[in-house]
């Protein structure tokens, strides 16, 4: 499943070199999706794989992950 993340998509984000937990631009038109889906090969099943869509975009390949802070 392509997993939505809170970051806005920046076209040149990876041109800035290695970063730890980059947030991307503060606003934009497209949000980042990470991961891949069953529709893609195993090369796409990794968190470093990224895609972008408008926040209103939906299809059967996208989703989200519920997260809870550890105690």
Q: Using an 8 Å Cβ cutoff, are 15 and 40 in contact? A: no
pLDDT band at residue 38 under the 50/70/90 scheme? confident
Residue 50 in this model has a pLDDT that exceeds 70:
yes
Return the number of other C-beta atoms located less than 10 Å from residue 34's C-beta: 15
- Domain boundaries, given as residue ranges, for the chain: 2-63
Q: Which two tokens stand for residue 62?
A: 């996208």
Question: Has this prediction a pTM greater than 0.85?
Answer: no
Q: What is the pLDDT of residue 30?
A: 92
pLDDT in tens, 3-37: 888 888 877 656 666 777 766 788 889 998 888 88
State what percent of residues in the chain have pLDDT above 90.
Answer: 8
């Amino acid at each position: 499943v392509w997993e939505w993340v809170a970051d806005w998509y920046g076209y040149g984000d990876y041109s800035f070199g290695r970063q730890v937990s980059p947030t991307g631009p503060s606003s934009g038109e497209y949000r980042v999706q990470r991961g891949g889906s069953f529709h893609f090969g195993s090369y796409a099943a990794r968190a470093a794989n990224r895609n972008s869509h408008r926040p209103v975009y939906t299809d059967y390949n996208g989703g989200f992950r519920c997260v809870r802070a550890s105690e």
